[in-house]
């Protein structure tokens, strides 16, 4: 059994924030893989289902980000899991938007949600780092992560969510490389063997050259006498 945790803040106010991309991933996995309805438990929202051959618990802590570890620790103890059975999906400032990396163990790098989880279950859990980019200065980090994704970011965001859902079963089976490949097929699909895009044909008559427009005859500027003279030459 695995416990997949998505990090974010509860409530409609935060639903589309960059900080909530972990919640978004779990929502996509639950929808795509036929998980049951969400219910309140462990100071969060929980649903259960299967990914491949594994039973998986999805958990969205509702303690607010800074106290996420309370919810994760409670769920882990209830299901008699170890920290090695936990996978946390979270926003990552140090990765470019649309980049996804899997990491096992390590520090929290100042992420308040991870810091709280460290305090409650230790550091030996897996995490999926979901790149959102950096605003450029540390003083702008808080307003940046607590603001909504821009419209221009929706395409790559959707690719990331779909890719994480595609690879979720591999992640549950402890196959991070397969998970990463599934994400890459969405976020960076392979090019054609020539490396160039095919040329678009004329849409009016596919496969046929476009007909040239008829050329208008030149205006006859001869005088009537000259026309008569030319006629009998």
The answer to whether 2 and 172 are in contact (CB under 8 A) is yes
Tokens 């470019």 -> residue: 96
49, β-bridge pairs: 56
| CA atoms in the 13 A half-sphere facing the CB of 199 | 4
Query: Per the residue annotation, which of 16, 19, 108, 118 is the catalytic one?
Result: 19
The answer to whether 132 and 96 are in contact (CB under 8 A) is no
5, β-bridge pairs: 59, 88
The answer to whether 198 and 192 are in contact (CB under 8 A) is yes
To the query of whether residue 33 is one of the catalytic residues in this protein, the response is no
Long-range pairs of 214-222 with CB within 8 A, sequence gap ≥ 24: none
The span from the CA of 176 to the CA of 189, in Å, is: 18
The answer to whether 26 and 46 are in contact (CB under 8 A) is no
The span from the CA of 218 to the CA of 31, in Å, is: 69
Which residue from 85, 89, 90 is spatially nearest to 121, judged by alpha carbons?
85
Enumerate the active-site residues: 19
């Amino acid at each position: 059994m695995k416990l997949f945790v998505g990090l974010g803040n509860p409530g409609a106010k935060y639903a589309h924030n960059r900080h909530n991309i972990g919640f978004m991933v779990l929502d996509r996995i639950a929808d795509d893989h036929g998980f049951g309805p969400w219910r309140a438990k462990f100071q969060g929202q929980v649903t259960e289902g299967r990914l491949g051959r594994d039973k998986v618990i999805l958990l969205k802590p509702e303690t607010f980000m800074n106290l996420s570890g309370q919810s994760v620790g409670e769920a882990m103890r209830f299901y008699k899991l170890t920290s090695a059975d936990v996978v946390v999906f979270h926003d990552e400032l140090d990765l470019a938007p649309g980049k996804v990396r899997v990491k096992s163990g390590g520090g929290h790098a100042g992420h308040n949600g991870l810091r709280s989880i460290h305090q409650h279950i230790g550091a030996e859990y897996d995490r999926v780092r979901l790149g959102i980019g950096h605003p450029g200065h540390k003083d702008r980090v808080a307003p940046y992560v607590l603001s909504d994704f821009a419209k221009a970011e929706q395409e790559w965001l959707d690719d990331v969510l779909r890719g994480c859902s595609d690879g979720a079963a591999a992640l549950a089976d402890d196959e991070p490389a397969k998970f990463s490949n599934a994400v890459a097929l969405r976020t960076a699909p392979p090019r054609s063997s020539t490396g160039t895009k095919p040329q678009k044909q004329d849409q009016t008559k596919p496969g046929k050259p476009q007909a040239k427009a008829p050329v208008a005859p030149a205006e006859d500027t001869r005088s009537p006498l000259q026309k008569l003279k030319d006629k009998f030459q």
